[in-house]
Structure 1
Amino acid sequence: MTNPFQPPAVFHRWGHRLTATLVGLSLAATLAGCGSPEAPATQNSEDLPVVLTTFTVLADIAQNVAGDKLAVESITKVGAEIHGYEPTPQDIAKASKAQLILDNGLNLEAWFGQFVAEFEVPHVVLSDGIEVMDITEDADAGKPNPHAWMSPLNVQKYVANIRDAFIELDPDNREHYTNNAATYTAELQALQENLLAGLSGLTENERALVTCEGAFSYLARDVGLREKYIWAVNAEQQASPRQIVSVIEFVQENKVPAVFCESTVSDAPMQQVVQGSDAVFGGTLYVDSLSEADGPVPTYLDMIRHDSDVILEAMTGGTE
């Protein structure tokens, strides 16, 4: 049967069609009843075209634009560490049925190029068009910081890219995607304004965000915070003594009251910073993954609100 959602040639294309070996692997995995990664938004429906994203945050953003016209799923599961992810046979089976894949770009998904090399599946890079910030420290200095989605202002561009991709995929529902994108963009703008208002009362030393990973550069830029981190990207599993000492010195010199770590990595290195300084551990922040539906950050908007609330409460000692 002809696929009415066959994607047009304007999308980026990678590689060639699946080899017989990979198809066999996908079929075997499916017949074996292996579970597939959970989508954070809606239940898949067989009569809808499938859109895959590389991680749960992008899936939630895309679902807000798709509404009930597309089935949006995440390749990685809730809680997964995205940087060093290793695709599974179930991922291959899922991708073989997709009409479109959305990825972040900016070297975030190091595994992505190899993953799509065996497919003729179109993909769209959602960070295209943003003002890219470079990493400034460690071995990755000079490379683009991939965590652009941590700024609600940047995500407005992500939404525009998603809208355009969905219209290309399914032009009959142009008005649906356009309206959903406009509604969600307004929510993102309101979130940005609330962030600015909430953080406006912080003193100079409280306006320093110290985290395990350098994932907050875009957010810090757009809300007027300084940033310091132990490592630039979560590809590193061990923090070096030099990195720990550098953060301790920054915290002490700037009298930073609280420090933080992300949900997908161990906070042990940051606890060393706490032991070597006057700062307290302010709490866990979410960056690379949403939580389950009953968790603290089931959506992107919840994630930014949660991180903002945790930062504000820790910095002000709960007095705001």
Structure 2
Amino acid sequence: MLVAVALLIAGCSDARGAGERKRVLTTFTVLADMTRAVAGDAVEVESITKPGAEIHEYEPTPSDLKKGAGVDLVLENGLGLERWFDRFVRGVDAKRATLSAGVEPIPIRSGQYEGKANPHAWMSPANARIYVRNIVTALSELDPRNAAVFKANAERYEAQLTEIDTFLRSELGKLPPSQRALVTCEGAFSYLARDAGLREAYLWPVNSDEEGTPQQIAATVTFVRENAVPAVFCESTVNDKAQQQVARETGARLGGTLYVDSLSEEGGPVPTYLRLLRYDAETVVAGLTGRK
């Protein structure tokens, strides 16, 4: 059915006038926010998925596919994140760009995707600057008349990313060596942990893998005990039941909810990507130090 709808919308005519803005579609809300920051008012930007959606095993609906009608550019993360993406763009006549191009990938350590790239590269502000430059290139090729606008917006946004990067490294760098460990449900923080010098452990490597198995829980319990980790965390798009068990068995605190794969609704805790990065850093520091 999805393929049929995709073919149908590919045949839809573009009724926009010559002066109307180009349309850009991103695979999830984080990329949409980054793209809007670069595009400003010059381009119309929309996300396929809504705030709060789990991205890995997302199933595009016919209404999602209709968003592809007349779209000029589709932006994806890449690194194996959107395994449903090829089905979405099949029959959609639009340019495509992969925003993680040029990122040095960190391999997944375990599970069925062992050895493949960890797809959560946007969780590093340093990597985010690569994403932004790829956005500038894609938008400038799509709409050359506004290339100078995209470049200027990107420079301002990269300056904000640098401020967030400094904040992350500074705040997480203040943690005592014994507290410099980040334990989460999904292994979505490998890039952030690398940048901040944190040891990393998680229950499962990718949300589309097996989640919360007895073996995963036992291994995480061992890591928390051996490293005297004071707090463990889980992400907003998954069930934290398994992490609650880790906390009970080790005496660690549940340090709070982290955001990775999706922004919140407007008015929520992380309505923008920059806020997501700062919120996660503040939550991790508060959880590991016991500070409010």
Name 1:144's counterpart in structure 2: 117
Taking the aligned partners of 2:182 and 2:32, their CA distance within structure 1 comes to 27
* Equivalent of residue 131 in structure 1, options 90, 94, 104: 104
In the alignment, the residues of structure 2 paired with residue 20 and residue 309 of structure 1 have an alpha-carbon distance, to the nearest angstrom, of 43
Deviation at 1:279, TM superposition (A): 0.7
Residue aligned with 1:140, SS: coil
Supply the AA of the counterpart residue of 1:234: N
Aligned residues: 284
Residue 54 of structure 1: which of 12, 21, 27 is its match? 27
Q: Is the 8 A contact 2:10 2:91 kept in 1?
A: no
SS in 2 for 1:50: strand
Indicate whether 1:219 and 2:192 are aligned. Answer: yes
1:162 aligns with 2:135: yes
SS at structure 2 position matched to 1:95: coil
**C-alpha deviation, 1:238, in angstroms:** 3.5
Aligned partner of 2:60 among 87, 90, 105: 87
| TM-score, normalised by the number of residues in structure 2 | 0.94
Pair 1:304 & 2:272 matched: no
How is 1:158-307 mapped onto 2 (pairs within 5 angstroms)? 158-236=131-209, 238-307=211-280
> TM-score, normalised on structure 1?
0.86
User: Is the Cα contact below 8 Å between 2:6 and 2:89 reproduced in 1?
Assistant: no
Q: Tell me the alpha carbon deviations over residues 3-22 of structure 1, each in whole angstroms, 9 at most, x when there is no partner.
A: xxxxxxxxxxxxxxx97884
Structure 1 runs not aligned, ≥5 long:
1-17, 28-45
From the superposition, tell whether residues 241 and 66 of structure 1 become closer, same or farther in structure 2 (CA, over 3 Å). same
Change (3 A) 1:258 1:102: same
Q: For the residues of structure 1 that align with 2:170 and 2:245, how far apart are their CA atoms?
A: 32
**Cα distance between partner residues in 2 of 1:125 and 1:21:** 20
Task: Say what the alpha-carbon RMSD is for the aligned residues.
Answer: 1.8
Same amino acid, percent of matched pairs? 51
Q: Verify: 1:117 aligned to 2:119, yes or no.
A: no
Aligned mates of 1:195, 1:24 — CA distance in 2: 43
- The unaligned stretches of length 5 or more in structure 2 are 13-18
Structure 2 SS opposite 1:293: coil
- In the TM superposition, structure 1's runs of 4+ consecutive aligned residues that sit over 3 Å from their partners are 18-22, 24-27
For the 8 Å contact 2:263–2:273, the answer to whether it is kept is yes
